[in-house]
Amino acid sequence: MSKTKLTINNNGSVKIEGDFEIVDRNGNTYGLQGREVVSICRCGLSKNKPFCDGSHKDHFEHEAIAFDLPPKKV
Protein backbone atom coordinates (compact mmCIF):
# COMPACT_ATOMS: atom_id res chain seq x y z
CA MET A 1 0.00 0.00 0.00
CA SER A 2 1.37 3.42 -0.93
CA LYS A 3 1.55 6.29 1.51
CA THR A 4 -1.25 8.80 1.64
CA LYS A 5 0.02 12.23 0.58
CA LEU A 6 -1.45 15.53 1.77
CA THR A 7 -0.46 18.66 -0.12
CA ILE A 8 -1.15 22.05 1.47
CA ASN A 9 -1.89 24.32 -1.48
CA ASN A 10 -1.08 28.03 -1.49
CA ASN A 11 -4.25 30.09 -0.99
CA GLY A 12 -6.47 27.03 -1.08
CA SER A 13 -7.28 23.48 -0.18
CA VAL A 14 -5.52 20.44 1.20
CA LYS A 15 -5.17 17.83 -1.57
CA ILE A 16 -5.28 14.21 -0.40
CA GLU A 17 -3.92 11.47 -2.68
CA GLY A 18 -3.52 7.74 -2.24
CA ASP A 19 -5.28 5.05 -0.25
CA PHE A 20 -7.48 6.78 2.33
CA GLU A 21 -10.97 7.06 3.71
CA ILE A 22 -12.66 10.10 5.21
CA VAL A 23 -15.06 9.70 8.11
CA ASP A 24 -17.24 12.11 10.06
CA ARG A 25 -17.01 12.50 13.83
CA ASN A 26 -19.41 9.58 14.28
CA GLY A 27 -17.26 7.25 12.19
CA ASN A 28 -19.55 7.32 9.13
CA THR A 29 -17.61 7.08 5.88
CA TYR A 30 -18.01 9.68 3.12
CA GLY A 31 -18.81 8.04 -0.23
CA LEU A 32 -15.93 9.08 -2.45
CA GLN A 33 -17.18 7.13 -5.48
CA GLY A 34 -13.77 5.61 -6.20
CA ARG A 35 -11.81 8.86 -6.09
CA GLU A 36 -8.14 8.55 -5.17
CA VAL A 37 -7.64 12.34 -5.03
CA VAL A 38 -9.86 14.86 -3.23
CA SER A 39 -9.39 18.39 -1.93
CA ILE A 40 -10.47 19.46 1.55
CA CYS A 41 -11.64 23.03 2.24
CA ARG A 42 -9.41 25.19 4.48
CA CYS A 43 -11.13 28.55 4.02
CA GLY A 44 -14.58 27.67 5.36
CA LEU A 45 -16.38 29.11 2.31
CA SER A 46 -17.17 25.87 0.45
CA LYS A 47 -20.82 24.93 0.03
CA ASN A 48 -19.65 21.30 -0.23
CA LYS A 49 -17.74 21.03 3.09
CA PRO A 50 -15.55 19.29 3.98
CA PHE A 51 -14.63 19.22 0.28
CA CYS A 52 -13.29 22.20 -1.64
CA ASP A 53 -15.52 23.74 -4.30
CA GLY A 54 -13.18 26.60 -5.29
CA SER A 55 -15.01 29.27 -3.25
CA HIS A 56 -11.69 30.36 -1.72
CA LYS A 57 -10.62 32.01 -4.97
CA ASP A 58 -9.53 35.58 -4.10
CA HIS A 59 -10.84 35.20 -0.49
CA PHE A 60 -8.16 33.17 1.28
CA GLU A 61 -4.44 33.82 1.60
CA HIS A 62 -1.87 31.41 2.95
CA GLU A 63 1.57 30.71 1.53
CA ALA A 64 2.23 27.03 2.21
CA ILE A 65 5.86 26.59 3.21
CA ALA A 66 6.92 23.47 5.11
CA PHE A 67 8.55 23.79 8.54
CA ASP A 68 9.52 21.57 11.44
CA LEU A 69 7.23 21.33 14.45
CA PRO A 70 8.81 21.62 17.89
CA PRO A 71 9.68 18.32 19.59
CA LYS A 72 6.73 16.22 20.70
CA LYS A 73 5.88 16.58 24.38
CA VAL A 74 6.08 13.39 26.41
Residue-wise pLDDT tens for the chain (74 aa)?
Answer: 578 999 999 999 999 999 999 999 999 999 999 999 999 999 999 999 999 999 999 889 999 999 999 999 99
In a domain, residue 46? The reply is yes
Per-residue confidence (pLDDT) for residue 37, from 0 to 100: 97
- Domain of residue 29: give its range: 1-59
In a domain, residue 12? The reply is yes
Give the distance, in angstroms, between the CA of residue 39 and the centroid of all CA atoms in the same chain.
Answer: 5
pTM beyond 0.75, yes or no: yes
Could you tell me which residues come within 8 angstroms of residue 2 by beta carbon, excluding any fewer than 6 positions away?
18, 19
In a domain, residue 17? The reply is yes
Cβ(56)–Cβ(39) below 8 Å: no
Beta strands 5-8; 37-40: pairing state? unpaired
In a domain, residue 27? The reply is yes
Q: How many domains does the chain have?
A: 1
